[in-house]
Amino acid sequence: MPRKEKKNEKKMEIIKHNSTIRFEEDVEFKDLTPIFPELYTLFMDLAEQIPDEGGEEFMQMMIDQNLKDLRNNKKPPGHNREARYRMIFPLGREDVEFILYPRIAEEESEIEMITSKISDFLEENGLEHEVIWDEMEFLMEEKD
């Protein structure tokens, strides 16, 4: 028999703080080269971080900086600037992956929506990956 919800019973909502997008073992950094300009632009658009003035030049500079490393099959910096959201390729990790995380209050964060749209984009472009939630907190705790 289905359980009836009481009127004053609150629904538990799990807040996701950050996401790691980890690619399959056979993916190399250079495999991200063809899609990176569109991936970066999508991230910046979803995060509402495209600068008003000089935005095109800034975006192209960041894309070029990341593409230089990707073409050489190296880990790129991603987007580490002071901003509402960051996309980083963590150091000291062998896997091809990046972390998306907000630098704003949890209740304002749209990290689930941003991650979902980024994941959809990667799937549409044939890049197999998994999304791991809140791994960054666990990594930080391990270092203490």
Residue 30 has pLDDT above 60, yes or no: yes
Cα–chain center distance at 23 = 12
Q: Which DSSP symbol is given to 128?
A: -
pLDDT of residue 7: 53
Higher pLDDT, 50 or 11: 50
The mean pLDDT value for 54-58 works out to 83
Q: What is the pLDDT of residues 122-135, one digit of tens each?
A: 999 999 999 999 98
Taking the C-alpha atoms of residue 127 and residue 57, their distance in angstroms, rounded to an integer, is: 28
Q: What is the pLDDT of residues 63-94, one digit of tens each?
A: 999 999 999 999 998 887 778 899 999 988 88
Question: Taking the model in full, what pTM does it have?
Answer: 0.81
Higher pLDDT, 143 or 53: 53
Compute the 3-state secondary structure of the chain and give helix, strand, coil in percent, each to the nearest 5.
40, 15, 45
Taking the C-alpha atoms of residue 55 and residue 22, their distance in angstroms, rounded to an integer, is: 29
pLDDT of residue 3: 47
The band of 105, judged by pLDDT with boundaries at 50, 70 and 90, is: confident
| Spans of all domains in the chain | 19-143
The mean pLDDT value for 6-19 works out to 64
